[in-house]
């Protein structure tokens, strides 16, 4: 990674303006999943231990540019206080005179969390004046919010035009190092597993990965559009009718370029979209009329296992079925367990956040893979080969 990090600069007595991703699930005014907060702790502790004056900024939810108590970061400040074991001050806004006073009275090794950036519509607009107001709060800028790095917002990109150096925190550094292994120089054989509901959300990642992987395994709802492209009857399964031609093109391209693209050979079907529905496993060529496929079957799991056991690098993004329903979670759980086993044997396993991360957490395997990305959309765009504005904006290391 050719960007400066917090290890490259002087931090003592500096006002460290830090973009974190504290967009965490909340219920009744309390944090119910603190993974993103916990992942930011190494950076925050490093800054505090180095005598920095730490000013944290984040968004939470979608308040649409208006102040809404439901999306206040106050409960996050309380939760962070418990995690750090020392007080975290809380500002009533993210810009303005009162905030400046709070920042300027911070001592070295003290921490302040600003109120939700998205209470101001200028944040998502990457407004120049708003960016400048944020920049006035710091002597240097740290981005540790990989999950927002694919957005050119005031707090991720705009602020860097007015505040330098702009450096990466430890979480940002870790994300980029792991994902770069999958994109730039993967240890081979390199296998990608893609699932989820629709091809439309994964077109670019499929096309980019086809230039890099040794094998591509496809499951989830998107598999039925591929089956339709092969002329199969998919019953009442999920279908993107306007993407059938694209599915056919992807299959043809893979064959032409001698890329191994594996689709499931059987699936678990149900007579309705409910956990309690009647269900059975059938070959993909024998889906009954009116029934819908909601998971991959055991023969497909075996097929995928054979390919994965050869791999030295694996990227996984998207569940194999409707894993939220226990009766249709077997395929996704099987993939999760395979990745845990591969990791033990030295394979680099990278999970692209979102539903795949949730599936690992559901069975207690979130610590059993090499890396789980905290940024679903950002990790997807990185794997698609796109430049992330929040990364590009950081200060380059001088060789």
Fold of domain 186-383: Rossmann fold (3.40.50)
* Alpha-carbon dihedral sign for residues 205, 201, 222, 354: positive
What the block records as the tokens of 268 is 């678990």
For 29: left if phi > 0, alpha if psi spans -120 to 50, otherwise beta; the answer is: left
Concerning whether 354 is annotated as a catalytic residue, the answer is yes
Global confidence as pTM: 0.84
Cα angle, residue 138 at apex, residues 133 and 142 outer, rounded to 5°: 110
Specify the pLDDT at position 200.
Answer: 78
Q: Domain coordinates of the chain in residue numbers?
A: 6-173, 186-383
pLDDT single digits (tens) 50-102: 999 999 999 999 999 999 999 999 999 999 999 999 999 999 999 999 999 99
Specify the pLDDT at position 1.
Answer: 66
195, 196, 219, 377: the active-site residue: 377
* 6-173 and 186-383 agree in CATH topology: yes
67, 100, 198, 337: the active-site residue: 198
* pLDDT, block means (10 residues), the chain with 399 residues: 91 96 91 90 97 97 94 97 96 97 93 98 97 98 94 96 97 90 85 87 82 92 95 94 93 90 97 96 96 97 97 93 94 95 94 81 87 81 85 89
Specify the pLDDT at position 376.
Answer: 72
Tell me the CA end-to-end span of the chain in Å, nearest whole number.
12
Specify the pLDDT at position 77.
Answer: 97
| Contacting residues for 184 by C-beta, under 8 A, at least 6 apart | none
What is the distance between the alpha carbons of residues 340 and 347, in angstroms, rounded to a whole number? 9
236, 297, 353, 354: the active-site residue: 354
Interhelix angle 35-49/170-183, rounded to 10 degrees, is 120
DSSP-based three-state secondary structure for 345? coil
Pick the closest to residue 315 from 196, 215, 233, 239 (CA basis): 215
36, 151, 181, 212: the active-site residue: 36
Concerning whether 377 is annotated as a catalytic residue, the answer is yes
Specify the pLDDT at position 196.
Answer: 87
Say whether domain 6-173 belongs to CATH 3.40.50.1260.
yes
What is the distance between the alpha carbons of residues 319 and 168, in angstroms, rounded to a whole number? 30
Concerning whether 346 is annotated as a catalytic residue, the answer is no
Residue pair 114/93 in contact (Cβ under 8 Å)? The answer is yes
């Amino acid at each position: 990674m050719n960007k400066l990090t917090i290890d490259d600069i002087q931090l003592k007595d500096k006002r460290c303006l830090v973009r974190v991703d504290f967009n965490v699930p909340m219920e009744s005014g309390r944090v119910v999943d603190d993974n993103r907060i916990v992942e930011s702790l190494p950076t925050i502790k490093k800054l505090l231990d180095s005598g920095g004056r730490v000013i944290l900024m984040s968004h939470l939810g979608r308040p649409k540019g208006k102040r809404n108590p439901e999306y206040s970061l106050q409960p996050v400040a309380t939760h962070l206080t418990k995690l750090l074991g020392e007080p975290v001050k809380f500002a009533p806004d993210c810009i303005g005179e009162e905030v400046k006073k709070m920042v300027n009275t911070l001592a070295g090794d003290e921490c302040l969390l600003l109120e939700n950036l998205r209470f101001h519509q200028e944040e998502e607009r990457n407004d120049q004046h708003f960016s400048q107001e944020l920049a006035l709060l710091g002597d240097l800028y740290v981005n540790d919010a990989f999950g927002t790095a694919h957005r050119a917002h005031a707090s991720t990109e705009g602020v860097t035009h007015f505040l330098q150096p702009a450096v990466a925190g430890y979480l940002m550094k870790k994300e980029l190092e792991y994902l770069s292994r999958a994109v730039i120089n993967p240890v081979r054989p390199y296998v990608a597993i893609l699932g989820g509901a629709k091809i439309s959300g994964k077109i670019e990642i499929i096309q980019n990965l086809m230039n890099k992987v040794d094998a591509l395994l496809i499951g989830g709802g998107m598999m039925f559009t591929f089956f339709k492209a092969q002329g199969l009857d998919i019953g009442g399964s999920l279908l993107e009718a306007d993407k059938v031609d694209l599915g056919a093109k992807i299959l043809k391209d893979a064959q032409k370029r001698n890329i191994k693209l594996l689709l499931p050979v059987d699936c678990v079907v149900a007579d309705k979209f409910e956990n309690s529905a009647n269900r059975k496993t059938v070959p993909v060529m024998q889906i009954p009329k009116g029934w819908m496929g909601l998971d991959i079957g055991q023969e497909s799991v075996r097929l995928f296992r054979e390919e994965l056991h050869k791999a030295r690098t694996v990227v996984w993004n998207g569940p194999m079925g409707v894993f939220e329903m226990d009766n249709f979670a077997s395929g996704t759980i099987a993939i999760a367990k395979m990745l845990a086993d591969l990791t033990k044997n030295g394979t680099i396993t990278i999970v692209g956040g979102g539903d795949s991360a949730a599936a690992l957490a559901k069975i207690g395997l979130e610590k059993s893979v090499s890396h789980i990305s905290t940024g679903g959309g950002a990790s997807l765009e990185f794997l698609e080969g796109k430049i992330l504005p929040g990364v590009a904006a950081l200060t380059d290391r001088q060789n």
